[in-house]
């Protein structure tokens, strides 16, 4: 799929679509074979569990608020104007532990199956189903840590 010319308005997404994924509101802004970019509203105390994109590089550009990204035991904090870089094949988890909403722009390259994944995950609340559907779309969640 090729990119099309035009403007995606600030208040809407491509085709007036938005999704609720893990409690976040994702609004697609650009989608082609080469890249997928979406705006995210990330409520306080929400997160995306550690996962791997084996076929995509991912990044986040922070607009408002603060978020943390975990690469294994390493925790990195990001605020407005910061860019978080998450190379393909590297496990990462994304957390809003700030007590306030954050907004940001996410992107992946190449787009692969992520746009379609967000469509099927819209409103899914069962963690096992989220993990199953994600694996079918090239996103692999890590098992939860041992409770012991």
pLDDT of res. 58: 98
Q: Where along the chain do its domains lie?
A: 19-138
Q: What are phi and psi of 15, to 5 degrees?
A: 60, 25
Residue 145 pLDDT: 67
pLDDT of residue 99: 98
- pLDDT averaged per 10 residues, the chain (length 148): 83 93 96 96 96 97 98 96 97 97 98 97 94 97 71
Taking the C-alpha atoms of residue 95 and residue 148, their distance in angstroms, rounded to an integer, is 23
Q: What is the pTM of this model?
A: 0.93
Class of the domain covering 19-138? mainly beta
Residue 5: its pLDDT value, please?
86
CB-based contact 92:71 (threshold 8 Å): yes
Per-residue model confidence as pLDDT tens digits over 41-66: 999 999 999 999 999 999 999 999 99
pLDDT of residue 146: 59
Q: Which of 106, 59, 51 has its CA nearest to residue 85?
A: 59
Which are the contacts of 95, defined by CB distance < 8 A and separation ≥ 6?
Answer: 47, 48, 67, 68, 69, 70
């Amino acid at each position: 799929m090729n990119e099309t010319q035009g403007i995606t308005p600030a208040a809407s997404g491509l085709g007036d679509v938005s999704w609720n994924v893990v409690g976040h509101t994702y609004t697609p802004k650009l989608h082609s074979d080469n890249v997928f970019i979406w705006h995210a509203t990330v409520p306080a105390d929400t997160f995306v569990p550690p996962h791997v994109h084996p076929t995509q590089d991912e990044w986040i550009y922070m607009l408002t608020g603060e978020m943390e990204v975990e690469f294994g035991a390493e925790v990195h904090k990001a605020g407005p104007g910061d860019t978080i870089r998450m190379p393909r094949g590297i496990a990462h988890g994304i957390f809003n532990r700030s007590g306030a909403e954050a907004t940001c722009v996410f992107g992946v390259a190449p787009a692969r199956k992520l746009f379609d994944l967000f469509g099927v995950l819209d409103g899914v609340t069962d963690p096992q189903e989220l993990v199953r559907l994600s694996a079918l779309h090239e996103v692999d969640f890590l098992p939860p840590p041992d409770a012991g």
